Amino acid sequence: MSRNLSRWMGALALAWTLPAGAEEWPQPPVGEATAATRAAQAWVRQALPLDDPADFENATRGFVAAIEDPRILNPDGSVAWDTQWFAFIDGEAPDTVNPSLWRQSRLNSLHGLFEVVDGIWQVRGYDLAVMTLIRGVEGWIVVDPLTTPAVAAAGLALANEHLGERPVTAVIYTHSHGDHFGGVRGVVDEGDVETGRVAIFGPHGFTEEAVSENLLAGNYMGRRGSFQFGNQLAPGPSGHVGTGLGQRLSVGAIGLVEPTREISSEGETLVIDGVTFEFLDAAGTEAPAEIVFYLPEFKALCTAEVVTRTFHNVLTPRGAKVRDALLWSQVIDAMLMRYGDDADVLFASHHWPAWGAEDVSRLLRNQRDRYRHVHDQTVRLANHGRTMHEIAEQLEQPAFASEDFSVRDYYGTLNHNSKAVFQHYFGWWDGVPANYHQHPPVAASERYVRFMGGAEAALAQAIESFEEGDYRWAATVFNHIVFADPDFEAARMWLAASYEQLGFQAESGAWRNYYLTAAHELREGVPRHVEVGLGSLEFLRAVPTTDLFNALAVRFDPARFDHDPVEVQFIFPDRDEAMSVDITRAVAFPRRGRTAEPAATVTMDRSLFDLLLLGDAELPPLLEAGRVQVVGNGAAVAAFLGALDEFEYWFDVVTP
C-alpha cells in the first residue's frame, strides 16, 4: 500500500469512528513539547556554540548596582516592572523553549546599572529598551527614556544614588517608537523644557511618525502588538520568556514631550551640555524617523536600534510601514566606514555594548551584511520569477549567522524579512492571478473544508499531520476548520496545540509570543474583561492638533453621518489654534485654520477637547457651564461627533 493511500485510509477510519465533538476526539498535548519539538531543540543545541561565554562577559561588564526592590510601581500602585517575572530563566533550556532563544533571554534578563566607559552608563533589564546616561558638564544627557515614567525614574534614581546626584540637562530620542520616548516624564519636568532648562532632541519627522504609529493606527497595531509582545502570557517555560529584543515592555501610561529641536536630515554636529555629538540620519531603517551618533570625546558610537544584538524586523509582526533593507545596510556601512576604525565602543538602545575596534567593526560588518543579504537575495530570486513564499522557503541563513549570535533571528527572521523585502518592491501580491482576488478567510475556509470532505474528515487528516510533526500544515488545516466553524471545539484545541509547538520551536521571541498568545486565546478566549488604555492625557496633549484631527478623520463613518455636507470649525483659545473640517458623504477632511463660512463653530480649550476624547469629561455639563460654546448649526456638530467610531480593542484575530 502506498504511503499516501495509507494516510487516506487512516484518515477515513478516524473520521468514521470519531464523530464531531471535542470530548470524543483525541486530546492534543497542552504545555508540553512533543517528540518532534524535542528533536528540533536538540538540533539547535548541536548546531550552535551555545556555551560561548563572550556575550555573558560583555553583558555583565561594568556592573555597578541593581535596583534593590524587585518591583517598580506606577503612581497608582500597579506594577510597572518586576525582576522576578523572569527569575526562572537560568540554567539549561527546557524542551518548551528554543535553546538559542533561551540563551538570549538569559542575557536580556540581566539587570542593573552598567558602565559603558567612564562618562557613559546604561540602565538595562527594566524594560524592553535600554536607557543611556551620558555625563555632561552640568548634568545628565538621557538617551531613550524607556516606555513608561516609573521605570525611567527608577533608573535615573539608581544612577543618582551610585554615581552622584545630577540634574537632567538634555534628552535625546533616537527614534519614534514608544519604548524610546514614553517614559520621558519620569526624567524631566515639562516646565523645565518650556523654560529651556532641559533640551529635547529627536530625529527630523519624529513627532509625525510617533503620532502615526501610536494614534492613527494605534488600535489595530496595539491589538496585534499584544500578540507580538505576549502581553497576556504568564512568564514561564511554556509561556513568556522574552521577545529577543528585550524581555518585555514595562506596564503603564506612556507620555510624550515634543522635541525642542529636530536633527537635520543631513546630519549635524552639536555640542550638548559640553559633549560633542556627531549625528547621522538613519530615517527609513528601523524606524521612519531615527538618528545614530558618535561621541568623539568618548570614542563611542551609539547605533540606536539600527544595530543591536539581533536580526531585526524589516516588517514587524504588529504591523508598521515596511522598512528599507537596502537603505538599512547602507546606513550601517556609513557608520562602519566613518567610525569603524575609531570607535572603541559601540552601544545601542537594546542589549549590551561591544568593546574594542575589532569587535565593533565585526558587529557592524555582520549586521550590514545580514540586511544586505536578505535584500539582494530576495530581489535576485524575484528576478528569476520566484514568488514571495517560494523565496522565503528557498533562502538559507548566511554562514556567519551560525557563528555570530548578534545576527540570529531573535526578533526578525529571514523568512519574514524576505517577504518584507518582496513587499517593499512588489507589494502584497505574488503575481499569481488566482491570488489577486481571493475569497476572504471565512468564505475561503468554508470552501476548503467542503472540498476536504467536511470538518470531521479534515480534522482527522490534520491530526495525522500534527502527529507527524508537520505543525505548519496542521495549523493551516485546523485554521480552515475553525474559520468555517468557530464552535468546533476539537478543531480549536488542535489548532491551539499546533500553534503552541510552533511557538516552542521558534528562535524569534516575537514569533514565539505570537504563536503562544494565539494558542492562549483559542483555549481561554479573548480577554475582553482586561482594560487596555490606548491613550493617555500626557501623550495626547503632546499631539499636534492637525495630527489629532487626522486621527479623528480615520474614525469617521460616512454611513452614520445623517446630515448634508457641511463645514464645521473648532477654535482652541488656549493654543490660539483653529481647525476646520469639511464633512461630505465620504470623508471628514480637516484643514488647519478657520473657514470662511462655517455652518457651526465650536470653541473650547484644547485641554478640554483632549479630556473629551479620552472619555474623562462629558459634553453636556461643559456646555451648561459655558466651557464649551457652539455657535450656528449645532445639529451639524452633533452629526459629525455622532459619526465617529469607537474602536473595540479586543477584536478577534485567531477566530473569525
Please report the pLDDT score of residue 427 as a whole number.
94
Specify whether the CB–CB gap between 479 and 444 falls below 8 A.
no
Residue 552 shares a structural domain with residue 418:
no
Beta strand extents in 125-257 (DSSP E only) = 131-135, 140-143, 168-172, 199-203
Residue 68 shares a structural domain with residue 210:
yes
Specify whether the CB–CB gap between 116 and 139 falls below 8 A.
no
> Which portions of the chain are predicted below pLDDT 50?
1-22
- How far from the centroid of its chain's Cα atoms is residue 554's Cα? 21
CATH code at 558?
A: 3.30.1050.10
Please report the pLDDT score of residue 216 as a whole number.
79
| Residues spanned by the domain of 619 | 544-642
Q: Is 274 left (phi over 0), alpha (psi -120 to 50) or beta?
A: left
Can you give the C-alpha Rg of the chain in angstroms? Answer: 27
* Boundary (domain end) residue, out of 425, 447, 472: 425
* Boundary (domain end) residue, out of 407, 425, 443: 425
Nearest CA to 601 among 564, 574, 575, 640? 640
- Looking at the DSSP bridge assignments, the partners of residue 603 are 571, 629
Residue 230 located in a structural domain = yes
Nearest CA to 67 among 155, 187, 160, 163? 155
Please report the pLDDT score of residue 389 as a whole number.
95
Q: Using N-to-C axis directions, what is the helix angle for 509-524 and 218-228, rounded to 10°?
A: 100
Nearest CA to 466 among 441, 509, 506, 502? 502
Nearest CA to 417 among 397, 432, 441, 431? 397
Residue 28 located in a structural domain = no
Residue 267 located in a structural domain = yes
How does pLDDT run across 39-69, given as a tens digit for each residue?
999 999 999 999 999 999 999 999 999 999 9
> Cα separation of 195 and 192, whole Å?
5
Please report the pLDDT score of residue 534 as a whole number.
60
| Per-position DSSP letters for 513-538, written without gaps between them | HHHHHHHHHHHH---TTS------HH
Specify whether the CB–CB gap between 51 and 57 falls below 8 A.
no
* Boundary (domain end) residue, out of 425, 447, 478: 425
Q: Is 146 left (phi over 0), alpha (psi -120 to 50) or beta?
A: left
Please report the pLDDT score of residue 360 as a whole number.
98
> Cα separation of 654 and 526, whole Å?
9
Residue 492 located in a structural domain = no
> Cα separation of 397 and 392, whole Å?
11
Please report the pLDDT score of residue 542 as a whole number.
83
Is 271 strand, coil or helix? strand
User: Domain tally for the chain?
Assistant: 2
What is the pTM assigned to this prediction?
0.93
Is 4 strand, coil or helix? helix
- How far from the centroid of its chain's Cα atoms is residue 494's Cα? 28
Ramachandran angles phi, psi of 345, nearest 5°: -150, 145
Residue 527 located in a structural domain = no
Look at strands 120-124 and 131-135 and give their pairing: antiparallel
CATH code at 392?
A: 3.60.15.30
Please report the pLDDT score of residue 540 as a whole number.
87
Burial of 487 (0-12, 13-18, 19+ CB in 10 A): exposed
Please report the pLDDT score of residue 10 as a whole number.
40
Please report the pLDDT score of residue 530 as a whole number.
86
Residue 303 located in a structural domain = yes
Residue 361 located in a structural domain = yes
Copy the grid coordinates of residue 301: 558610537
Please report the pLDDT score of residue 535 as a whole number.
67
Burial of 543 (0-12, 13-18, 19+ CB in 10 A): buried
> Cα separation of 632 and 256, whole Å?
35
- Looking at the DSSP bridge assignments, the partners of residue 81 are 72
Residue 278 located in a structural domain = yes
How does pLDDT run across 418-428, given as a tens digit for each residue?
999 999 999 99
**Grid cell 469629561 — which residue?**
617
- How far from the centroid of its chain's Cα atoms is residue 248's Cα? 10
